[in-house]
Amino acid sequence: MKKDALEAQIEKIADLIIQSGSIIVFTGAGISTESGIPDFRSPGGVWTKFDPREFTYQRFVGDIEVRRKAWQFFRAIPWTEVKPNRAHFAVVELEKMGKVDCIITQNIDGLHQMAGNTATRVIELHGTTRFVHCLKCGKRWPRDEIEQWLDQGIEVPMCDDCGGIMKSATISFGQSMPLEETREAEQRSRQCDLCIVIGSSLVVYPAAHMPVYAVQSGAKLVIINRDPTPLDSAASVVVNAGAGETMVKVLEIVKAKAASIRN
């Protein structure tokens, strides 16, 4: 996209934000790549080093060797060391301006909350890697505590209360989506007047239904993603560029326009 065309698209996004009263921000892996978290599906991504078919929920529960390998995968990305980037902080600023109803995220990194978004406004459709829970009694532990167990040589952690199977509090392949979060995300998506997709390929369902619900209910759709998505034709604005650089520019224009309106 040429510079002038890109700037025009960014200004159009800013105008849509100013005009909107209830915005859903829908985020995927592309918003977190600037934080050093690799895109799972891109060349060189996590799934080129680990076979996702090995980590289905059913195999995890049924095979201790799969669990042993899964706990190795648990350490493959230094989740506790990654920090939010400028795209996350831009979303925080939009919330502070009263524009964001909620953030619906496919990500499991917890970076929206770390950046400063209100935790109750963040709907994590695929769970979070910041916690581990027991599948039997539901007890939860912070991730760094379980990392200490692994450092001590425990290869397959088991619940210290009931002896149940422990698992990262993420949604695995073959595992049902969290009912409450999915229901709330759909409801919020159908009620918004603008949905901004940041860094999602929009190919992972049922999460990718959320922007569809928004459009079906009459909301405008903005897509900021490096590569084309299946929903581009339904969007009012599509920007194929990095999340950070784009959101910084969008925020600058939104702030300038908001200030001029007040004056």
Residue among 124, 77, 121, 130 at smallest CA distance from 96? 121
Contact 24, 195 (CB under 8 A): yes
Q: Which residue has the tokens 């409450």?
A: 180
Q: CA 233 from chain center: how many Å?
A: 22
Six-digit token string for 188: 């919020």
Six-digit token string for 116: 């400063």
In the residue annotation, 112 being an active-site residue is answered as no
Catalytic pick among 88, 112, 126, 133: 126
Could you give the CA distance from residue 101 to residue 104 in angstroms, rounded to a whole number? 10
Residue among 98, 104, 99 at smallest CA distance from 212? 104
Residues facing 132 on adjacent strands? 141, 168
Q: Which residues are identified as catalytic?
A: 126
